[in-house]
Amino acid sequence: MLVYVIRRVGYMIVALLALTLITFFLMKQAPGSFLTINIMQSGLQTSGHSSYSMDVLQEWSERYHIGEPWYMEYWGYLKGILTWDFGTSFQYPNTPIMSLLVKAFPISLGIALSSIILGLLISIPVGIFAAMRRNTWADSGAMFFSMLGTSIPAYILAVFLIMVFSLYLHWLPSMGWRDLKNYVIPVLALALPMTGSMSRYMRTSLVENLNKDYATTVIAKGGSKRDVIYRHVLRNSLIPLITIIGPHLAGMLMGTVMIEFMFGIPGMGQLFNNAAGSRDYPLIMVSTFLYTLVIMVMNLLVDIIYGLLDPRIRRSGMSD
């Protein structure tokens, strides 16, 4: 087990290095530079120079080797990452990148995790319910409603949720970022669309396991369906569900831009999208790096849990 984890960490470091290199090239390939965008955005075309003073430009070109060969420039960013000294970004030159991320990341992670947990809390019972009444109207009904959630994009669902919970019931604020209450609508808006696919996976996987020999044996011996599901099948059925949590989490950390903008949430989606849109190279590099780091660590954890849940995989998948 330990050897396995260590090896995985080793691969991870190589992958992260490769990732920074690819990100670097992608970002340099994207048209437009931070300064041209800054000039345009500040309406400074007529004066022709950006709103950034020469000294700061000088500092940047020293730190990031701007105008030098690509490997020097890449080294400028890599050095910052390797020494864990991220410096400041182009957009917010007075604030260290680290403190930007320290503010934004927990918010996004909080929203992402709570949405996924909420999604699971809804999907698992719905999945069990449907699987137990397989091919009945209850099954189709449950699946139909969970699918309905999936077919509505989060940004449309959010509007309906605001109308219901804020406008009619007056329970929750419609936007802003002050206390726990502000979490509820965004989390719901993100969780509900997930339940369709999640409960589907849950049901599918339960049904498959119920068809397996060990389950039929238990039933043949007189065990009830409920017994079989809770005592035997459920654990095995959670495995495919865990595999899809990884992608969901990855998507939710940076992909919830629409929701973040709609509710004024200062999360990673906003931060990264603005960084990419304004070609803020240091912030793109660092946030991509840290984001991937978190995703890879999460994947590692998921794989370990996966192994713990399924002894067959632990036996082979990890030992070699």
Partner 1 sequence: MKRNKFLTTLAAISLGAALLAGCSGNNNADSKENGNAAASNTESGNAASANNASSGDATNKEVESNAGTLPDKPTGTFSFFINSGATWDPAIWDWGGHHNAIGIFEGLVHYSQGKVVPGTATSWKEDGAKWKFTLRQDAKFSNGDPVTAEAFVLGIQRAVDPNTVKGTSKASSFLGDTHIVNYLDIQNGLKKVDELGVKAIDPYTLEIDLQEPDKSFLDKLAISNWQMPVDPKVVKLGVSDDTWTDPAKIVSNGPYMIDKLNVKTDMWLKPNPYYYGKVSLEKIHMTWSTPEIKQLLVFQNNESDMATLAAEDVPAVKGDSTLTNELNWFDTSISYTFQVRHSENPALQNEKVRQALTMAIDKQAIADKVLGGTGTPSYDGSITTWMADWIKNVGPQYDVAKAKELMKEAGYPDGKGFPTLVMLVPGADDKVAQAVQQLWQQNLGINVKYDGEEWGAYVTKFDESADPGTVSVVQNGVGPAVANWKETIVQTDPLHMELAKIALDGKAWENYRKIWNDSKLEQGDKNKQASDLFAANFSKDITDRYAKAADAYKKDDEAGLKDFVSWRMNTAWTFPIYTVRNGILLKPNVKGYFPMRMWLSTPPDWLNDITVS
Partner 2 sequence: MSTPVSLDLHGTDLPDMKLRKNSLWRMRFQIFCRNKIAVVGACFVLLLVICALFAPWITPYSYEKGSVLEAFEKPSLAHLLGTDAIGRDVFSRLIYSLRNACIVGFGAQLIELTLGLFIGAIAGYVGGRTDSILMRVVDIVYGFPSFLLSIILIILLGHNIWAVLIAVAATSWVGMARVVRGQVLTVRQSEYIDAARAMGANWWQILTRYVLPNSMGPVLVAAAFGIPANMMVESGLSLVGLGLQPPTPSWGSIIADGQKGIFSYPYLLVYPSLLFAITLLSFTYLGDGLRDAFDSREA
Binding site for partner 1 (CB under 8 A): 30-33, 36-37, 40-53, 55-56, 67, 92-94, 103, 155, 159, 162-163, 166-167, 170, 173-178, 257-258, 261-266, 270, 273-274, 277-279
Among partner 2, partner 1, none, partner that 270 touches (CB below 5 to 8 angstroms by kind): partner 1
* Contact with partner 2 (CB under 8 A) among 182, 205, 270, 278: 205
- Give the residue from 270, 278, 283 showing the smallest Cα distance to 37: 278
Asked whether position 143 contacts partner 2 by CB under 8 A, the answer is yes
Residue 144 binding result from partner 2, partner 1, none, given CB thresholds of 5 to 8 Å by partner type: partner 2
Binding partner 2 (rule: CB under 8 A), the pick from 89, 199, 256, 299 is 299
Angle at 98 between CA 94 and CA 99, to 5 degrees: 65
Residue 182: Cβ within 10 Å count: 18
Q: At a CB cut-off of 8 Å and minimum separation 6, what does 231 contact?
A: 218, 223
Rg (CA), the chain: 24
- Verify binding: residue 139, partner 2, rule CB under 8 A: no
Binding to partner 2 (CB under 8 A): which residues in 276-295? 276-277, 284, 288, 291-292, 295
Residue type, 98: M
Written as one letter, the residue type at 283 is L
User: What distance in Å separates the CA atoms of residue 138 and residue 127, rounded to the nearest whole number?
Assistant: 11
174 binds, among partner 1, partner 2, none (CB under 5 to 8 A by kind): partner 1
Q: Of 253, 276, 277, give the one whose Cα is nearest residue 265.
A: 253
Residues pairing with 96 in the sheet: 88
- Separation CA 313–CA 306 (nearest Å): 8
Q: How many residues does the chain have?
A: 320
Q: CB-wise, 140 or 224, nearer to partner 2?
A: 140
Out of 42, 140, 217, 224, the residue judged to bind partner 2 by CB under 8 A: 140
Q: CA-CA distance, 168 to 181, in Å (whole number)?
A: 16
Q: Per rule CB under 8 A, is residue 180 in the interface with partner 2?
A: no
Q: Does 244 bind partner 2 (CB under 8 A)?
A: yes
Distance CA 305, CA 310 (A): 9
Of 102 and 156, nearer to partner 2 (C-beta) is 156
DSSP-derived letter for residue 88 is: B
By CB under 8 A, name the binding residues for partner 2: 7-8, 11-12, 14-16, 18-19, 22-23, 26-27, 29-31, 140, 143-144, 147-148, 150-153, 155-156, 159, 196-197, 200-201, 204-205, 208, 211, 239-240, 243-244, 246-247, 250, 254, 272-273, 276-277, 284, 288, 291-292, 295-296, 299, 306, 310, 312-313, 315-317, 320
